[in-house]
């Protein structure tokens, strides 16, 4: 009779999950014993990096990523990264080793007391099997739960003495299972949506990350062109759902109530697809909707629909709903929106580059299908203005604003998409949260080009300090970090680029390499 260990690996293989991201401890060793040759283990030196790599891999591949953490402490180390995975609907199957069953109750070292409670509320489902034989079934449930809309992380705690137990004859049934989701409004509801869209005089489309996650980008373009609508990306954008040089494109909405209302003034119908309504950040109170406007919300997340403070919501598969709408929507006789004007040129300083010029050069030199993993929070608006993104899956940003995402997520994205070049654009403050990811980059020769924008401060925090009138707060600066030396210490080649000429040379080298390169760029504060 097969063991829990053998059945689990068969289950993972059947589901196409053969990459394991982990940082092992004693509780995890029995699971890792005798790992089949067709599985790959990707080691991170900190559990936050492990979860970040898996997050990037899951987001880019669209498939569940398997994470193996060490008991309670390892889970705790990964919780910061888990905030981003939760808000980005990232399908992570997180396992954590548990003490032997007979040792849990006495709270021996490495016992995870009340293990299912620990990762909440940042997981869809959390469980510790009541007996060893239930472990394969629990992992099957975890995989399917992570994959069903709305996707998200799940957590299973597994006592280390479960792995060699018999799984039972019925465990083989798990290998034959598939769970398929299909959700689209009724014909009457689609007809109602079509009437609302066709009757609007000044509709606007607001797109969120789930459009990109469900590869509905082209459908969104077709809808915008059919109705000649301006298109905004929903605030706090963690993905790019619409080509940024399209004439309908208007940019990313500000993450503030008053700011959104101001930008959408004059529109009579706001159609939000694949995003919450809305992910606010900066406290700037005002009216939720412009005068005379109504809102339609199309989402795969029932919780997002329920908590929105305004509008009518339709919960279902975003791709299927857009497909159904396009089958009935007639072309509008309105004029197509005018493209946005080109942004103004800016000047560099001596030995410091303007972030806008870094992005202009990057846009010129990078492959047109490059994937950008962005974690320079003070330069988000400038980046969207200067960098063209036209393909699905071209942009990833920490969905909850949890720092430490960029370096490891870039590695996970590159592992998932080896045919596309991944470029990590990371702020110097952000980079330090997960700097050990550079070791994994070197060890596995993952050919990401990392660009560290070094301005010596927490730039986004300085902006909030001005907004909140607390500019005398301590701890806003992070000077005197030599990222080239740090990278080389972890085994990653590094170059210093304090001019556009040196940056161009460094990018040319990095884009031709089959291993990682870090480029440190001193930049002006924004």
Q: Is 338 a catalytic residue?
A: no
33 and 146 share one domain: yes
Our CA angle for 187, 189, 191, nearest 5°, is 70
Q: How confident is the model at residue 282, as a pLDDT? A: 83
The residues facing 95 across adjacent strands are 68, 156
- Element housing 156 (H / E): strand 154-159
Question: E strands along 324-386, which residues?
Answer: 371-375
- Annotation says 26 is catalytic: yes
CA distances, 295 to each of 31, 191, 280, 390, 505 (Å): 50, 17, 17, 27, 48
> Residue 455: what pLDDT?
87
Residue 443 lies in a domain: yes
Q: Is 471 a catalytic residue?
A: no
pLDDT for the residue numbered 468: 72
Residues 20 and 165 both lie in one domain: yes
Q: What is the pLDDT of residue 464?
A: 60
Q: Assign residue 234 the CATH number of its domain.
A: 3.40.50.1220
> Which whole number is the average pLDDT over 436-454?
98
Judge whether residue 262 has pLDDT over 90: yes
Over its C-alpha atoms, the chain yields an Rg (Å, rounded) of 24
- For the chain, the first-to-last Cα distance in angstroms comes to 64
Asked whether residue 293 falls in the same domain as residue 402, the answer is no
Active-site option among 62, 76, 281, 491? 281
Q: How many helices (H) and strands (E) does the chain have?
A: 20, 18
Q: Is residue 331 part of a domain?
A: no
- End-of-domain residue from the set 176, 196, 220: 176
Active site residue 47: yes
Kindly report the pTM of this predicted structure: 0.95
Based on the fold, state whether residues 235 and 159 are members of the same structural domain: no
Q: 506 and 380 in one domain?
A: yes
Say which of 46, 70, 89, 160 is annotated catalytic.
70
Same domain, 209 and 129: no
How wide is the angle at C-alpha 409 spanned by C-alphas 97 and 298, nearest 5°? 100
* CA 352 remoteness from chain centre: 30
| Domains contained in the chain, number | 3
Strands 40-43 and 231-233: unpaired
Q: Are 247 and 338 in contact (CB under 8 A)?
A: yes
8-state DSSP, 285 = -
- Establish if 341 belongs to a structural domain: no
- Active-site residue among 10, 22, 25, 297? 25
Active-site annotation holder among 316, 401, 412, 424 = 401
The reply to whether 196 and 172 lie within a common domain is: no
Q: What is the mean pLDDT of residues 129-135?
A: 96
Active-site annotation holder among 26, 102, 108, 199: 26
Same domain? For 301 and 418 the reply is no
Decide if pLDDT at 490 tops 90: yes
The answer to whether residue 336 sits within a structural domain is no
**Does a structural domain hold residue 342?**
no
> Looking at residue 283, what is its pLDDT?
86
DSSP 122-184: SSSEEE--SSGGGHHHHHHHHHHHHHSSSP--EEEEEETTSTTSB--GGGGGGGG--------
Q: Tell me: the pLDDT tens digits for 288-346?
A: 999 999 999 999 999 999 999 999 999 999 999 999 999 999 999 999 999 999 899 99
128 pLDDT above the threshold of 80? yes
Q: What is the pLDDT of residue 292?
A: 94
Provide the residue range defining the domain that includes 137.
4-176
262 is catalytic: no
pLDDT band at 185 (very low <50, low <70, confident <90, very high): confident
Choose the final residue of a domain: 131, 146, 176: 176
- Quick one: 63 and 161 in the same domain? yes
Q: What is the pLDDT of residues 331-349, one digit of tens each?
A: 999 999 999 998 999 999 9
Among candidate residues 326, 341, 375, the one where a domain is terminated:
326
> Residue 93, SS3?
strand
pLDDT score of 466: 72
Mean pLDDT of all residues in 102-131: 93
Q: Count other Cβ atoms within 10 Å, centred on residue 47.
A: 28
Residue 463 has pLDDT above 80, yes or no: no
Residues 6+ apart with CB under 8 A from 144: 177, 179
Is the separation of the CB atoms in 395 and 240 below 8 Å? yes
- Do 412 and 50 contact (CB within 8 A), yes or no? no
pLDDT given for residue 462 in this prediction: 62
Share of the chain above pLDDT 90, in %: 88
Burial class (CB in 10 A: 0-12, 13-18, 19+), 114: exposed
Looking at the domain assignment, is residue 235 inside a domain? Answer: yes
- Phi/psi at 378 (5° precision): -80, -10
Q: Is the pLDDT of residue 284 over 90?
A: no
Verify whether residue 128 is a known catalytic residue: no
Confidence of residue 406 (pLDDT cuts 50, 70, 90): very high
Tell me what percent of the residues of the chain surpass a pLDDT of 70.
Answer: 98
The answer to whether the CB of 257 falls within 8 A of the CB of 284 is yes
Q: What is the pLDDT of residue 471?
A: 73
Whether the predicted pLDDT of 403 surpasses 80: yes
Q: Give the H or E element holding residue 14.
A: helix 4-14
Taking only the tens place, the pLDDT of each residue in 387-397 is 999 999 999 99
Residue 102 scores a pLDDT above 80: yes
The confidence score (pLDDT) of residue 476 equals 65
Q: Which of 5, 28, 52, 393 is catalytic?
A: 28
pLDDT band at 431 (very low <50, low <70, confident <90, very high): very high
Band of pLDDT at residue 465, cut at 50, 70 and 90: low
Region 69-84: mean pLDDT is 95
pLDDT band with cut points at 50, 70 and 90 for residue 461: low
In a shared domain, residues 144 and 194: no
Contact 381, 252 (CB under 8 A): yes
Q: Specify the residue for token string 């401890």.
A: 25
371 and 262 belong to one structural domain: no
Per-residue pLDDT, averaged over 412-428, amounts to 97
**Ranges 274-283, 448-457, 469-478: which has the least confidence:** 469-478
Residue 475 has pLDDT above 80, yes or no: no
Q: Confirm if 495 and 449 have CB atoms less than 8 A apart.
A: no
Do the bridges between strand 231-233 and strand 249-252 make them parallel or antiparallel, or are there none, so unpaired?
parallel
Residues 50, 68: Cα–Cα separation, whole Å: 8
Among this protein's residues, is 22 annotated catalytic? Answer: no
Is residue 345 assigned to a domain? Answer: no
| Residue 337 domain-assigned (yes or no) | no
Catalytic residue among 10, 22, 47, 48: 47
102 & 194 share domain: no
- CATH number of the domain at 145, please: 3.40.50.970
pLDDT at 478: 72
């Amino acid at each position: 009779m097969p063991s829990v260990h053998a059945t689990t690996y068969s289950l993972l293989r059947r589901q196409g999950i053969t990459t394991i991201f982990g940082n092992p401890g004693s509780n995890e060793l029995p699971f890792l014993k005798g790992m089949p040759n067709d599985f790959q283990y990707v080691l991170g030196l900190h559990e936050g990096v492990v979860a970040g790599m898996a997050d990037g891999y899951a987001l880019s591949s669209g498939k569940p990523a398997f994470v193996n953490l060490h008991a309670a402490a390892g889970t705790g180390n990964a919780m910061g990264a888990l905030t981003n995975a939760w808000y980005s609907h990232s399908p992570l199957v997180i396992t954590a080793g548990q003490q032997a069953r007979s040792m849990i109750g006495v709270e021996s070292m490495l016992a995870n007391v009340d293990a299912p409670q620990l990762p909440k509320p940042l997981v869809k489902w959390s469980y510790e099997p009541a007996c060893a034989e239930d472990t394969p079934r629990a992992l099957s449930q975890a995989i399917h739960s992570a994959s069903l809309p709305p996707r998200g992380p799940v957590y299973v705690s597994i006592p280390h003495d479960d792995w060699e137990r018999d799984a039972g004859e019925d465990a083989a049934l798990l290998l034959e299972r598939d769970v398929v989701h299909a959700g689209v409004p009724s014909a009457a509801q689609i007809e109602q949506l079509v009437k609302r869209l066709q009757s609007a005089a000044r509709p606007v489309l607001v797109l969120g990350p789930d459009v990109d996650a469900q590869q509905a980008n082209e459908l969104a373009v077709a809808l915008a062109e059919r109705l000649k609508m301006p298109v905004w990306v929903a605030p706090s954008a963690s993905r790019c759902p619409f080509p940024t040089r399209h004439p309908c494109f208007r940019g990313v909405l500000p993450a503030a109530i008053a700011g959104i209302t101001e930008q959408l003034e004059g529109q009579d119908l706001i159609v939000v697809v694949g995003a919450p309504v809305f992910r606010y950040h900066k406290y700037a109170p005002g009216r939720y909707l412009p005068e005379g406007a109504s809102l339609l919300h199309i989402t795969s997340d029932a919780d997002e629909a329920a908590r929105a403070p305004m509008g009518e919501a339709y919960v279902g598969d975003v791709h299927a709903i857009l497909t159904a709408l396009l089958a009935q929507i007639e072309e509008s006789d309105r004029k197509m929106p005018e493209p946005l004007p080109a942004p103004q040129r800016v000047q560099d300083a001596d030995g410091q580059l303007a972030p806008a010029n870094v992005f202009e050069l990057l846009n010129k030199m990078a492959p047109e299908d490059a994937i950008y993993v962005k974690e320079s929070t003070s330069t988000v608006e400038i980046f969207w203005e200067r960098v063209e993104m036209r393909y699905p899956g071209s942009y990833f940003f920490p969905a909850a604003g949890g720092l430490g995402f960029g370096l490891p997520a870039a590695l996970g994205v590159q592992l998932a998409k080896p045919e596309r070049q991944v470029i990590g654009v990371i702020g110097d403050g952000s980079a330090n949260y997960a700097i050990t990811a550079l070791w994994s980059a070197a060890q596995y020769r993952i050919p990401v080009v990392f660009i560290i924008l070094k301005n010596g401060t927490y730039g986004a925090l300085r902006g909030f300090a001005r907004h909140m009138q607390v500019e005398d707060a301590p701890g806003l600066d992070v000077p005197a970090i030599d990222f080239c030396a740090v990278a080389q210490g972890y085994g990653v080649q590094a170059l210093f680029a304090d001019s556009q000429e040196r940056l161009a040379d460094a990018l040319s080298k990095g884009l031709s390499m089959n291993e990682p390169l870090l480029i440190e760029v001193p930049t002006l504060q924004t």
